[in-house]
Amino acid sequence: MDAYCDFFGIILTTGHQVDQMKCKVDIAFVVDSSSSISVDDFDIQKNFIEDVVRRFDVGPEDVQFAAVSYSGNAYDEFKFNAGSDQSRVIKDVGDIRYSQGPATRTYKAIERMRTYLFAPGKGSRDDVVHVGIILTDGTTNPGKYDRLSTKMGKAATQEQAQLAKDDGIYLFAVGIGPDVNKEELLGIASVDPDNKFMITVDSYNQLNTKVVKETLSYRACSPVSSPNPVINIEQPIFPDIPQGEDPNEVCQGKPADVFFLLDESSSIHSEANFKLELKFVEHVINYLDVSADLTRVGVLTFSDTATMHFKLNDYSNKDEVESALKNIQWRGGNTYTHEALQMLRNEGFSVMNGARKGVAHIGIIVTDGSSNEPKKTSEEAEKVLNEGTYMFAIGVGSVNKVELNTLASEPNSDFVFTVKNLGALDKIKEILAYRVCKENTQETPQEICGQRTADIVFVADASTNIGQSDFDKLLGFIGEVVSQFDIGVDATRVGLITFANTSKIEFNLNSYTSLHDMKKAISNVEWRSGQRYTAEAIQTLYCKMFTPEQGARGDDVPKIGIVLTDGTSRQPKKTNQMSKAAHDLGIRVFAIGIGQYIAEDELKSLSSNLDSYFKVDDFSALYSIGQSLTSKVCQEAKPGLHQLNAFDKKELKEIKTLLELLEKAESSN
Per-residue pLDDT tens digits for 488-500 = 898 899 999 999 9
Query: 385 and 506 share a domain?
Result: no
Per-residue confidence at 443, pLDDT binned at 50, 70, 90? low
Query: 270 and 419 share a domain?
Result: yes
Domain coverage including residue 535: 454-637
Contact between residue 34 and residue 71 where contact means Cβ atoms under 8 Å apart: yes
Higher pLDDT, 105 or 166: 105
Number of domains in the chain: 3
Looking at residue 355, which CATH number applies to its domain? 3.40.50.410
**pTM (two decimals):** 0.42
Query: 200 and 135 share a domain?
Result: yes
H or E element at residue 405? helix 401-407
Out of 439, 467, 484, pick the residue that ends a domain: 439
DSSP state of 541: I
Identify the pLDDT of residue 339. 95
In a domain, 1, yes or no: no
In a domain, 177, yes or no: yes
Report how far residue 321's alpha carbon sits from residue 228's, in angstroms, rounded to the nearest whole number: 39
H or E element at residue 51? helix 39-54
Query: 330 and 434 share a domain?
Result: yes
Identify the pLDDT of residue 15. 40
Query: 159 and 42 share a domain?
Result: yes
Query: 464 and 578 share a domain?
Result: yes
Query: 209 and 278 share a domain?
Result: no
In a domain, 100, yes or no: yes
Tell me which amino acid residue 119 is.
Answer: A
Query: 86 and 193 share a domain?
Result: yes
Contact between residue 158 and residue 168 where contact means Cβ atoms under 8 Å apart: no
Contact between residue 132 and residue 113 where contact means Cβ atoms under 8 Å apart: yes
Give the tens place of pLDDT for each residue, 205-250.
989 888 888 888 888 876 543 333 333 334 444 445 555 566 667 6
Identify the pLDDT of residue 448. 61
Mean pLDDT of the chain, nearest integer: 83
Report how far residue 262's alpha carbon sits from residue 396's, in angstroms, rounded to the nearest whole number: 11
Give the tens place of pLDDT for each residue, 466-510.
999 999 999 999 998 998 888 989 889 999 999 999 999 999 999
Query: 197 and 264 share a domain?
Result: no
In a domain, 434, yes or no: yes
pLDDT at 369 over 80: no
Query: 331 and 204 share a domain?
Result: no
Query: 58 and 169 share a domain?
Result: yes
pLDDT at 101 over 80: yes
Query: 488 and 623 share a domain?
Result: yes
Report how far residue 202's alpha carbon sits from residue 248's, in angstroms, rounded to the nearest whole number: 64
Report how far residue 138's alpha carbon sits from residue 140's, in angstroms, rounded to the nearest whole number: 7
Per-residue confidence at 115, pLDDT binned at 50, 70, 90? confident
In a domain, 329, yes or no: yes
